[in-house]
Amino acid sequence: MIAIIDYGMGNLRSVQKGFEKIGCDAIITADPHVLLTAERIVLPGVGAFRDCMKNLEQGGFVEPILKVISEGRPFLGICVGMQMLFSDSVEFGLHSGLNVIPGHVLRFPDQMTVAGEKLKVPQMGWNQLSFKRRPPVFDGVNDGSNVYFVHSYYVKPTDSSVIATTTDYGFEFCSSVWRDNIIATQFHPEKSQAIGLRILKNFAELT
């Protein structure tokens, strides 16, 4: 069973429907104990880092998340759910994250330009994946595939060997990481049409 962590932030329905579409049962749960019985765990994230972390803490999710990760169960972080795995974020002041993956969450610089046009922040829309490594969760996903992003902040891992893909937005930023049982994506698989569903299916089948 796949458990999607509900800590009171935003739209979880799309993630659940994505799994249903590919024939996998996924439950949305606000009960930290349910995580401990789940085979796979998804940590989505919409909203500000600070509020997401606060809600995770208040919901009693921090210990169970650290536990299931250390036990080696497949774990998928999406967007802010990826960012929270890092050490800290500068969104609305400096805030600590779960520190599962050492590194920082930084804001896209203002006033970047490409071909004379300002790069807008947030980055909103479809951009390409460039593979550094090939985790099984990306089986069947081609280099250069377009996936959907919406974010103003990006992760910078201390150890660059965890980077699975980068994406170009004025510079190459880390768009997904892979370490052991942890997969985390800055983009939204649940909003990335067929490619996104393929990633969710791969995740559901990870052994």
Partner 1 sequence: MLTKRIIPCLDVKGGRVVKGVQFIGLRDAGDPVEIAEMYDQQGADELTFLDITASSDARDIIIDIVQRTADRVFMPLTVGGGIRSVEDVRRLLNAGADKISINTAAVDRPDFVREAAERFGSQCTVVAIDARRIPGEKRWEVFTHGGRKPTGLDVVEWAMLMESYGSGEILLTSMDCDGTKDGYDIELTRAVVDAVSIPVIASGGVGNLEHLYDGFTAAGASACLAASIFHYREYTIGQAKEYLRDKGVEVRL
Q: Which residues are catalytic, by number?
A: 79, 188, 190
Kindly give the pairing relationship between strand 75-78 and strand 182-185.
parallel
Among 1, 17, 72, 161, binds partner 1 (CB under 8 A): 17
Taking CB under 8 A as the rule, does residue 125 contact partner 1?
yes
Q: Which is nearer to partner 1, 95 or 191 (CB)?
A: 191
Q: What is the dihedral of CA 107, 122, 171, 142, to 10 degrees?
A: 120
Kindly give the pairing relationship between strand 117-118 and strand 113-114.
antiparallel
The distance of closest approach from Cβ of residue 141 to partner 1 in the complex, given in angstroms and rounded to an integer, is: 14
Helical ranges in 161-192 per DSSP H: none
Q: Which is nearer to partner 1, 21 or 133 (CB)?
A: 21
Residue 108 is inside which H or E element, if any? none
Angle 13-21/193-205 helices, nearest 10 degrees? 80
The backbone torsions φ and ψ at residue 120, rounded to the nearest 5 degrees and listed phi first, read: -80, 145
The distance of closest approach from Cβ of residue 36 to partner 1 in the complex, given in angstroms and rounded to an integer, is: 26
Taking CB under 8 A as the rule, does residue 149 contact partner 1?
yes
Provide the mask over 25-64, with x wherever binding to partner 1 is found by CB under 8 A and - wherever it is not: ---------------------xxx----------------
Tell me how crowded residue 150 is: count the other CB atoms within 10 A of its CB: 14
Assigned token pair, 79: 């967007």
| DSSP labels, 187-206 | S-GGGSHHHHHHHHHHHHH-
Taking CB under 8 A as the rule, does residue 196 contact partner 1?
yes
The distance of closest approach from Cβ of residue 58 to partner 1 in the complex, given in angstroms and rounded to an integer, is: 16
> Which segment (34-42, 64-72, 116-124, 133-141) binds partner 1 by CB under 8 A?
116-124
Site for partner 1 in 156-195 (CB under 8 A): 168-169, 190-193
The residues of the shown chain that bind partner 1, judged by CB under 8 A, are 10-11, 13-14, 17-18, 21, 46-48, 110, 114, 117-128, 146, 148-152, 168-169, 190-193, 196-197
